[in-house]
Structure 1
Amino acid sequence: MSERERLDFIRQIVARDVQSGRHGGRVLTRFPPEPNGFLHVGHASAICLDFGVAAEYGGRATLRMDDTNPTTEDPAYVEAIARDIRWLGFEWEGEIRYASDYFEALYRMALRMIEDGFAYVDSLSEEEIRAHRGSVLEPSRPSPYRDRSTEENLDLFRRMRAGEFADGEHVLRARIDLAASNMKLRDPLMYRIRHAHHYRTGDAWPIYPFYDWAHGQSDAIEGITHSFCTLEFQDNRALYDWFIEHTRPAAAGFERIPGAEGGGGEELGSWDPRPRQYEFARRNLDYTVVSKRKLLLLVEEGQVSGWDDPRMPTLAGFRRRGIPPDAVRAFCGQIGIGKAENRVEIATLEWAVRDALNARAPRVMAVLRPLEVVIDNYPDVGFEWLEAPYFPSGVEARPEGWPETREVPFTRSLYIERGDF
């Protein structure tokens, strides 16, 4: 089997790109969590992939907070995310980046999208937009506001930015294809009005970008070469590419981030380099809930002591439980990266933890509920000392200063665990 065949499909793609000189041979990945909760075991695979691929191919990895929803985000989550990534053993390049850093650039690009005829302000309500959406078998119905003039759209969008309208009064939508088989392309929403305080920008913005608009453009601004995400975003890839292909980077009035190498010209889709999105399948751990919404509910209802409760499947919870970070990395390496979703037995995680602890946690016996046992045919000669191992057989590495074995007494009268009788 060749080296390439031994790699997972994402590493095969990256290896091929590096060999062919795509992106000038550069590899720049990013981990883009939303700061609306603590990281959980499901995030660990993505972290190991993003930072691992960058390290393996001589590249760089950055950390960017996807902070486009001010009602759910908190700086405490930012701190927790950074702490958990470092605990896992990874470090990002430079300072933490934020989607909110690009709000002005995204706004200017959206204005140019309107001028180029690729976006319009829609005044339908959320329920009306949903009613116009159609289905997989029938196309969406056009909004009566879809054919507004460029001047009217620009005026309305600027007034949205100025805070003149109430929440939900207008949205900005991309004008793509109402009959597209991929429903993500049926005039998706780009901006909504939300008069909410943002933990970084304060009250400066009454409009906030949707994920699909902010995500790909942020990747392009930063010069990301390989964008990894889970399969739930597979249909979003077409939208990711469409936005990048239909924007004019130079119109945004920003400078590329140092180290991004390359830049965007005035022509459509002139991002250089242009990021590419690749999707991998989730690995669902048995008996484990990883929905941040449900985990937050446990915290808010007081069912657990916090996000770092040892019973929680969060990385902070793992840390308090005593699980070492190399066990989590080993677990992620064992379950691997693939395209087909599957379930992972909880025993796989337990094995990784046990294997990591074998070399660092000396083992001794203890009796919690003693039951005296007398061995009638054993001579009553006092103590006999036997040798017992501290570590399982085959374990070579052990904590400095710890011997391999210890002495334990053996007598005619013993105490065993009551439940073992």
Structure 2
Amino acid sequence: MNNHKKKRDISFIHKIINKDLKKKYEKNIHTRFPPDPNGYLHLGHAKSLYINFEIAKHYQGKCNLRFDDTNPNKKNSKYIKSIKQDILWLGYKWNKHVKYASMYFKKIYKYAVELIKKNLAYVDKLKKTDIRTFRGTLNKPGINSPYRNQTIEENMTLFENMKYGNIQEGMACLRAKIDMKSPIIIMRDPVLYRIKFNEHHKTNHQWCIYPTYDFAHCISDAIEGITHSLCTLEFQDNRVLYKWILDNLNILKQPQQYEYSRLNIEHMILSKRKLGLLIKKKIINNWDDPRMPTISGLRRRGYTANSILNFCKNLGITKQDNLIEMSSLESCIRKELDSTSYRTMGILDPITISITNINEEYEESIQILNHPKNHSMGFRKIIFNNMIYIDRSDFQENPKKNYYRLKIGGTVKLKYSYTITANSIEKDCDNNITKIFCTCNFQKNHNKDHGIIHWISKKQAKKCELRIYSYIFNDKNPNIKKNFLSNINNESKIIYNGFINKEIQKSSPVNTYQLERIGYFKIDNQISTNKNIILHQIVSLKENKKNK
């Protein structure tokens, strides 16, 4: 029995499906996720995945994975593999076998012939630029192609010549014969087939003509028995063409298309083409760069599947376009990591503290919890002795008023340990502070006038590379920029050569940590070695915005 009535606050799509079920238009709900294998999945795809798979799950239906491989490209196989991995990592399983638009090329071709024979399609020999010019604008109607009134026989001959490779690429295409004066530009004789001599990852060189997305998509939906074809709002006008194609073909059971808002997030671009350009221009290393809004990039950075799905859940399903705050995504992963991450201390930019009233042989072991609220996560031991590291940002030679961290004559508390007072400093020839000389007060009680700072004993310190990330784009909405590449944040990745506890190894069973007072980090096992641990900052901490 369906449980769709249990939830009161439901989306407009749920309401549509509920009505269809009530009126018995549909018995079994069937959705699909149809990515173009021309890049890696990003957060926009995660939202689409979530909607299609969760709706199918909610109604005990099915969701197909179908690759829109209507554009032959040798890289398709690489992207298909990554897309399948991302979907499985997110916890979804598609219905039966993976589907491909190319599985239906023979049927789609026959449907194209059907339109020609009904005098609803013709072979146009205009050049691409002329087709674009003849199409008109929003304020100017289109002009009929001089090839529009060819006979059915002429069009059939030309289409066969296209199929058998007798016409050069770009010299002809098949267009629907609809209305060149339509107020909806996509209905002004859209292209249905074009010539491409590229090798296809599935069909090799069997075809040299390929259907466009608009022609193949609706037919593929119908063949697979999709009941609700869900897509983003930019395909709203395409729905008219979607219905026109199905209405004019011998297809009895028609899917229905519905649109929801596209995902837009502050400081991000969610376009495979534009993200690919970042890689091509060598602004970003690869699709799985931790700064990328791709599923693989987020996974490598340390985001979990659960945090991404919770983010998608919180978005809901609406028709209203909004620019979502980055904090909405960050809060999902921060909430999860707060309860699951082991605590430890790390130093981004180290400076040496020499405690002068402790001799070299002195060593104190301090036992602390791995998680302050979860004793089942166990304990760890840290060493306190006369040589430790603190972060350079926790000391100022000439501090401003109300500075609560370490300064000459000032006292701070070392977290979990004693208070220390700074007495003097040592500098190198470039006037950089290299060492701070302090005395230990052997007091563990915290005076509220003293700041608390993190530290690592030099004996326990292990060199590491800590990578801190920020937005790729400076502007909140880089999508509206004429040249989005001019808006790059050159400090989107800052590398610190710092220290972590030497017990943290590449092979550690735990690879996600909260570095206290800094943020949440994940070890990158792809590129780390035991001699050089590389950690990505997943997200910062909420607090610690004040100098306290």
TM-score normalized by the length of structure 1:
0.85
Q: Distance in 2 between matches of 1:108 and 1:384?
A: 78
The structure where strand makes up a greater share of residues is 2
Q: Which residue of 2 aligns with 1:12?
A: 15
- Identify the residue that residue 177 of structure 2 maps to in structure 1: 175
Alignment of 1:37-116 (within 5 A): 37-71=39-73, 73-116=75-118
2:322 to 328, 339, 342: 342
Of the three residues 403, 411, 421, the one matched with 2:418 is: 411
Cα displacement (A) at 1:371:
7.5
Q: Of 136, 142, 156, which aligns to 2:138?
A: 136
CA distance in structure 1 between the partners assigned to 2:184 and 2:379 by the alignment: 62
Q: SS state of the match for residue 349, structure 1? A: helix
| Partner amino acid, structure 2, of 1:103 | F
Task: Tell me if structure 2 keeps the 8 A contact 1:36–1:72.
Answer: no
Cα distance in 2 for partners of 1:169, 1:11 equals 46
Question: Structure 2: which amino acid aligns with 1:110?
Answer: A
Q: Which has the larger radius of gyration?
A: 2
Deviation at 1:359, TM superposition (A): 2.5
Residue identity in the other structure for 2:25: R
- In the TM superposition, 1:185-334 aligns within 5 A as 185-248=187-250, 270-272=251-253, 274-334=254-314
Deviates more, 1:331-340 or 1:7-16: 7-16
> Does structure 2 conserve the Cα–Cα contact (< 8 Å) formed by 1:40 and 1:315?
yes
- Unaligned 5+ runs, structure 2: 356-362, 383-414, 421-439, 441-451, 456-516, 518-546
Which one-letter code corresponds to 2:267 in the other structure?
Answer: Y
Letter in 1 for 2:31: T
Give, in angstroms, the shift of residue 388 of structure 1.
Answer: 6.0
Question: C-alpha displacement at 1:405, in angstroms?
Answer: 10
Amino acid at match of 1:101: M
Query: Is contact 2:30-2:62 (8 Å) kept?
Result: yes
| 1:385 positional shift | 7.2
User: Contact conserved, 2:343 with 2:371, CA < 8 A, in 1?
Assistant: yes
TM-score by length of 2: 0.66
CA displacement, residues 187-238 of structure 1 (integer Å, 9 cap, x when unaligned): 1110111111111111111111111101101100111001111000000000
Q: Once the 2 structures are TM-superposed, how far is the Cα of residue 362 of structure 1 from its aligned partner?
A: 2.4
Question: Which structure ranks higher in relative contact order (CA pairs < 8 Å, sequence separation ≥ 6)?
Answer: 1
Alignment match, 2:530: none
Determine the C-alpha separation between the residues in 2 that align with 1:306 and 1:134. 39
Q: Distance in 2 between matches of 1:134 and 1:384?
A: 79
1:49–1:404 distance in 2 versus 1, CA, 3 Å:
farther
Q: What letter corresponds to residue 271 of structure 1 in structure 2?
A: L
Summarize deviations over 1:116-154 as a string: whole Å, max 9, x none: 111111111111112211222332111111111111111
Are 1:15 and 1:57, in contact at CA under 8 Å, matched by a contact in 2?
no
1:143-182 paired onto structure 2 within 5 Å: 143-182=145-184
* 2:393 corresponds to 1:390: no
Counterpart CA distance in 1 for 2:367 and 2:76 is 57
Tell me what 2:385 maps to: none
Aligned counterparts of 1:181 and 1:404: Cα–Cα separation in 2:
69
Distance 1:373 1:277, change over 3 A: farther
Please give the alpha-carbon distance, in whole angstroms, between the structure 2 residues aligned to 1:143 and 1:63: 38
Paired residue secondary structure (2:377): coil
Report how many residues are paired.
385
Q: Is the 8 A contact 1:160 1:193 kept in 2?
A: yes
The separation in 2 between residues aligned to 1:63 and 1:351, in whole angstroms, is: 30
Secondary structure, aligned partner of 2:223? helix
Alpha-carbon shift at residue 20 of structure 1 (Å)? 2.6
The letter for the 2-side match of 1:278 is: Y
Q: 1:42 to 1:373 in 2, by over 3 A?
A: farther
SS in 1 for 2:269: coil
CA–CA separation in structure 1 for the residues paired with 2:75 and 2:248: 30
Q: Secondary structure at the match of 2:143?
A: coil
Where structure 1 has 5 or more consecutive residues not aligned to the other structure, the ranges are 249-269, 375-381
Aligned CA distance change for structure 1 residues 347 and 360 (closer, same or farther; 3 Å): same
Closer, same or farther: CA 117–6 of 1 in aligned 2, 3 Å: same
47-56 or 124-133, larger mean C-alpha shift: 124-133
Query: For residue 410 of structure 1, what is the amino acid of its counterpart?
Result: S
CA-CA distance at 1:71 after TM superposition: 3.7
Cα deviation, residue 367, structure 1: 5.0
Identity of aligned residues (%): 39
2:507 is aligned to: none
Of residues 324-333 and 69-78 in structure 1, the stretch that sits farther from structure 2 once superposed is 69-78
Question: In the TM superposition, what is the alpha-carbon distance from 1:332 to its structure 2 partner?
Answer: 0.5
Amino acid at match of 1:416: I
1:367·1:416 contact (CA, 8 Å) conserved in 2?
Answer: no
- Pairwise CA distance, 1:3: 5.3
User: Which amino acid in 2 is paired with 1:17?
Assistant: D
Q: Quick one: distance in 2 between partners of 1:282 and 1:72?
A: 29
| Distance (whole Å) between structure 1 residues aligned to residue 162 and residue 36 of structure 2 | 25
Q: Offset of 1:304 from its aligned partner?
A: 3.1
Q: CA deviation at 1:402?
A: 1.4
Relative distance call for 1:188 and 1:387 in structure 2 (3 A) is same
